[in-house]
Amino acid sequence: MSEPDRQVVLDLVDLRKSYNVGRPTETEVLHGVNLKLGRDDFAALVGPSGSGKSTLLNLIGLLDTPTGGELYLLGRATSTLDDADRTAMRAVAIGFVFQFHYLIEAFTALENVLMPWMVRHGRPDSEAIDSARSLLDAVGLADFAGKKPGELSGGQQQRVAVARALVTRPALLLADEPTGNLDTHSSAGVFELFRHFNADLGCAVLLVTHDTRLAETCDRQIELVDGRIVSDAVLR
């Protein structure tokens, strides 16, 4: 895949996913999904429960493999990658934010932010630490670097999770119901962080949400129903 306009980060071509392949109970849950995301995209993925959103997100995040079609990430066909290469590409190119922050309770906020970097590189150097501190500053938690998760509010914990997702400067941020456990004020704050990093870092954002109001504030809304994209609308 050549690099077209809009600096394409993600390109799904006729992507399919089946379970119990080769058995009488074989079931296809994604039926030829085609989708492109560029670095400027700030998109919501919506659809009813059971529509295949989680399955699609797992494929995009290289946590699972498709049974048909191709997934290009930063122009590279991922079907040719072995497990080690998939893990390496995921660590560099993709950031994840989930509904639950999954912070490590024994670690400080700064250490939690550094975790993806340490998994890939080992002991952090001064440049990595400075970068992590800058991210904590960007999410409004510069003064909380030494605090552990139990000393932070729910909104603050999710902000740490956002900083952690961005410490490797990924090209794509995947957010799965990232504000589902937050109050309205905290949700708005986390959403604005996504906006900031999308605009300032050129990080494409794909946000899975059941919150209609949140989806409508995105620039693009992609609707998945019964394993097929039924609409892909530019909202602004």
Is 14:229 a contact under the CB 8 Å cutoff? no
Paired tokens of 121: 């590189």
pLDDT of 5 reads 45
Is 13:70 a contact under the CB 8 Å cutoff? yes
Paired tokens of 23: 């058995």
Which amino acid is located at 142 in the chain? A
pLDDT of 105 reads 94
What does the pLDDT look like over 56-76, one tens digit per residue? 999 999 999 999 999 999 999
pLDDT of 218 reads 94
Q: How far is CA 23 from the centre of its chain?
A: 32
175 closest CA partner among 158, 189, 153, 196: 158
Q: Is the dihedral of CA 78, 81, 123, 178 positive or negative?
A: positive
Q: How far apart are CA 59 and CA 73, in angstroms?
A: 11
The domain spans of the chain are: 38-63+88-234
pLDDT of 4 reads 46
Backbone angles phi, psi at 5, to 5 degrees: -60, 160
Q: How far apart are CA 46 and CA 208, in angstroms?
A: 6
C-alpha distances in angstroms, 4 versus 162, 195, 200, 216?
Answer: 29, 24, 21, 27
Name the fold adopted by 38-63+88-234: Rossmann fold (3.40.50)
Q: How far apart are CA 113 and CA 135, in angstroms?
A: 8
pLDDT of 6 reads 52
Name the one residue in this structure whose structure tokens are 């906006």.
Answer: 195
Pairing of strands 27-38, 68-73: unpaired
pLDDT of 197 reads 83
Angle (nearest 5°) at CA 47 between 39 and 13: 50
What does the pLDDT look like over 2-46, one tens digit per residue? 444 458 999 999 999 999 888 888 899 999 999 999 999 999 999
pLDDT of 51 reads 93
pLDDT of 99 reads 72
Is 183:61 a contact under the CB 8 Å cutoff? no
3-state helix, strand, coil in the chain (%, to 5): 40, 25, 35
Paired tokens of 42: 């700030």
What 3-state DSSP class applies to 228?
A: strand
Write out the chain's pLDDT in tens, 236 residues: 444 445 899 999 999 999 988 888 889 999 999 999 999 999 999 999 889 998 999 999 999 999 999 999 999 999 889 999 998 888 889 988 877 778 999 999 999 999 888 877 788 888 889 989 988 888 889 999 999 999 999 888 988 988 898 888 889 999 888 777 767 777 777 788 788 889 888 899 999 988 888 889 899 999 999 999 999 999 88
